[in-house]
Structure 1
Amino acid sequence: MTTTDVTPERPDRRAWLREHSELGVSVLLLALGALVLTDALTMDVEIAQRGPIGPKTVPVAVGIGLLVVALLLALDVLRGGRGEAESGEDVDLSEPADWRTVLLLAGVFLAAAVLIEPLGFPVTGALLFWGSAYALGSRHLDRDPLIAAVLSVVTYVIFNNLLGVPLPGGPLMGVL
């Protein structure tokens, strides 16, 4: 082989994956659709069905819809389609991820999951709303906890009292 011969270069796998990163969304939608469809088809329904539409209809339709969207998205990406950034989006893809914010949000959500039973939704919701605002950059320490508390109590009252969705009340169970 001489120096003038050009050998075809093996395509870089990372570059190909970077160019087709939307396939990750497709895989996620495919897995979610399979999960929803499997759960819907194995659902044990004890209610007598009145008419053609039963309790399995909507979950099956959603599962099939997720599978179809996943396949169409994968086909589009493999044919060269790319998602367009919104004109108002100001994300610089050359910058590294902000792991501090991601970890703060993950910690707030984990704390909320652990604290919701002993403290109830109003207190835990306030901590969740305030912690999320803080993690995302708000530094109004006088205003944010108050807004979070009001938002949490209003959400609790709407869901628990008006919509009939029982939420754990915690120490405030008798007050609200």
Structure 2
Amino acid sequence: MTTPTTDPGAAGPGAGAGEPAAGRRSWLREHSELGVCVLLSALGVLLLTDALTMDVDIAQRGPVGPRTVPVVVGGGLLVAAALLAADVLRGGRGRAETGEDVDLSEPADWRTVLLLTGVFLGAAVLIEPLGFPVAGALLFWGAAFALGSRRPDRDPLIAAVVSFVTYAVFDNLLGVPLPGGPLMGVL
């Protein structure tokens, strides 16, 4: 019994001509996650470039300006890309997803989709006359209701607190003016 040989020249002249390309394709197939690294790196560089070339009057903004979030997110994308590339090159592989807990034979829940759409459009229309705190509270409560929460004792209170805290953080701490509406004139 003979064992197969691994000598490329043993199969005859010209038999190994396509092997470097095939080997390269095989290596790329085994390391396909590097494509995600390239995408993450490109997005990170794009964000950093846009943020650092932004024309901003720093004297009016304070310590946290419009460059902060894009710089942090762009830097985070570059770090994530580098860590993922290092893991892939060391032999790490992503696991195939086993599936979601969704029954594809069931029809779409159009009631929820339409409720969420209505709540969002309603908040967009009401934000100018009522202000962000009231429109935001209606948005948060309406979204919770549309997604199935049925706690009338708790949901409106949580929605109001989240909306007012969001308004205070953006308007007072970050310097992003939001419409306060008539309620902010009273408070």
Query: TM-score, normalising length from structure 2?
Result: 0.51
38, 46, 49: which is aligned to 1:38?
A: 49
- Give the greater-gyration-radius structure (CA): 2
RMSD of the TM alignment (CA)? 4.5
For residues 68-127 of structure 1, what are the alpha-carbon distances to aligned partners after superposition, in whole Å with 9 as ceiling and x for unaligned? Answer: 413543664685533799xxxxxx724248964973686244543453233311111111
Matched, 1:112 2:123: yes
Distance 2:50 2:101 in 1: 40
Question: Gapped runs of 5+ residues in structure 1?
Answer: 1-19, 49-54, 86-91
- Residue 103 to residue 146, structure 1, CA distance change in 2 (3 Å): same
Amino acid at match of 1:81: R
Higher helix share: 2
Matched, 1:67 2:78: yes
Shift of 1:60: 4.6
Distance 1:56 1:149 in 2: 30
Question: Gapped runs of 5+ residues in structure 2?
Answer: 1-31, 60-65
CA contact (8 A) 2:116 2:143 kept: no
- Residue 120 to residue 75, structure 1, CA distance change in 2 (3 Å): same
Matched, 1:171 2:182: yes
93, 100, 124: which is aligned to 2:100?
A: 93
- Match of residue 150 from structure 2: 139
Matched, 1:82 2:90: no
Distance 1:45 1:69 in 2: 28
Distance 2:73 2:35 in 1: 20
Q: Alignment length, in residue pairs? A: 145
- Match of residue 156 from structure 1: 167
- Residue 56 to residue 164, structure 1, CA distance change in 2 (3 Å): closer
> % of aligned pairs identical?
70
CA contact (8 A) 2:123 2:135 kept: yes
